């Protein structure tokens, strides 16, 4: 059994990890850490876990000491020190925050206002989107679990960019997310009267996931590109749906596009390319590790429209992190992730 520790276990991503790992046949929850609730049983914080996980929240150091792999579910600027401690103790480290996602420190400084405190660790870290970078993930010890919006955008656009079917410049990504994406801490934006029966964009052309999206898509395309990215807040708990617009290269057909996506994903356990005429819907991926993708062409304007839907707490966070752990430890990638989406 793999001994697992979670730092930041009482946030939404952390408790989702607990939910998933309790059903993982090869993982044992060795320790759960929380600054806010240290000493309290995690089932006191989340009564749904009563009798299922009654571990007392401990310190981050204790979680590291007891584990073979540590998941860090903390805000940016904190994970680098935990990663250094894990490397020193030969403990694998999977960061669900932003500290290791960006290759260039200048991007991290610009978008997150911080610095790389352990430069040597960043050269070891791998950006861990399994469907695109599986081989690199299997050889790493520090993994940067992708952000939720970047996962939906990268999976939605990668095949078309890789095969040169769309123009790399001028891509527009319009995404909508449930309120859990903003975390567990109370905020004015996520306050029920403010988000219920409301729908609006936020951080227009200024969201911190923008450089991560551009970095991943540039890697796939083989050239530097920029995107227009506008996120929106949906009045629901879970899910991200992204609608992406890109100009098709001349004479590209629907058949070529479908072939490219089938070639990219036909063996992928968690990416479902929908049949022609169907549209990805949040309802069909809820509480699962799936990303559903639908392809559409506006022939009047020569535009490819890709819709991708995923659960921001699972494929956009905890589920993908467990998928990465499985790769690190040589397990079948879907171990512990056989979650069927809810049907209504």
Active site residues: 148
Collect all residues with Cβ–Cβ distance below 8 Å to 290 and sequence separation of at least 6: 270, 271, 272, 284, 310, 311, 315, 341
Q: Longest Cα pair distance anywhere in the chain, in angstroms? A: 63
**CA triple 144-148-151, angle to 5 deg:** 75
The Cα–Cα gap between 314 and 96 comes to: 12
> How many helices and strands, by DSSP H and E, does the chain display?
12, 13
The Cα–Cα gap between 185 and 166 comes to: 40
Collect all residues with Cβ–Cβ distance below 8 Å to 36 and sequence separation of at least 6: 10
The Cα–Cα gap between 217 and 300 comes to: 26
Q: Could you say which DSSP state residue 51 is in? A: T
Q: Is the Cβ–Cβ distance between 285 and 291 less than 8 Å?
A: yes
Q: Could you say which DSSP state residue 259 is in? A: H
Which of 255, 283, 311 is closest to 20 using CA atoms?
311
Write b or e for each residue in 21-54: b if 16 or more Cβ atoms lie within 10 A of its Cβ, otherwise e: beebeebebbbbbbeebeeebbbebbeebeeebe
Q: Is the Cβ–Cβ distance between 31 and 62 less than 8 Å?
A: yes
Q: Is the Cβ–Cβ distance between 74 and 57 less than 8 Å?
A: no
């Amino acid at each position: 059994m793999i001994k697992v520790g979670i730092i930041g276990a009482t946030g939404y991503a952390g408790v989702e990890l607990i939910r998933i790992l309790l059903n993982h046949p090869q993982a044992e929850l060795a320790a759960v850490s929380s600054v806010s609730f240290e000493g309290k049983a995690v089932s006191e914080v989340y009564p749904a876990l009563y009798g299922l996980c009654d571990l007392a929240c401990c310190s981050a150091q204790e979680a590291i000491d007891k584990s073979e792999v540590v998941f860090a579910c903390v805000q940016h600027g904190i994970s680098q020190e935990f990663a250094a401690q894990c490397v020193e103790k030969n403990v694998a480290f999977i960061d669900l925050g932003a500290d290791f996602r960006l290759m260039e420190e200048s991007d991290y400084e610009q978008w997150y206002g911080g610095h790389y405190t352990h430069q040597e660790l960043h050269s070891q870290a791998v950006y861990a989107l399994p469907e695109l970078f599986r081989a690199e993930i299997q050889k790493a010890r520090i993994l940067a679990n992708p952000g939720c919006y970047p996962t939906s955008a990268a999976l939605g656009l990668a095949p078309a960019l890789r095969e040169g079917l769309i123009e790399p410049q001028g891509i527009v990504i319009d995404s909508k997310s449930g309120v859990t994406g903003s975390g567990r801490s109370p905020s004015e934006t996520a306050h029920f009267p403010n988000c219920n029966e409301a729908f609006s964009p936020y951080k227009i052309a200024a969201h911190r996931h923008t450089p991560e999206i551009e970095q991943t898509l540039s890697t796939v395309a083989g050239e530097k590109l920029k995107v227009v990215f506008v996120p929106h807040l949906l009045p629901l708990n879970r899910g991200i749906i992204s609608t992406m617009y890109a100009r098709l290269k001349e004479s590209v057909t629907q058949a070529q596009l479908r072939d490219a996506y089938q070639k990219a994903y036909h063996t992928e356990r968690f990416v479902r390319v929908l049949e022609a005429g169907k549209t990805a819907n949040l309802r069909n991926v809820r509480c699962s590790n799936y990303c559903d993708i639908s392809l559409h062409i506006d022939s009047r304007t020569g535009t490819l429209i890709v819709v991708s839907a995923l659960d921001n707490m699972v494929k956009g966070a905890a589920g993908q992190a467990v998928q990465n752990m499985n790769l690190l430890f040589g397990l079948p990638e879907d171990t512990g992730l056989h979650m069927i989406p809810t049907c209504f």
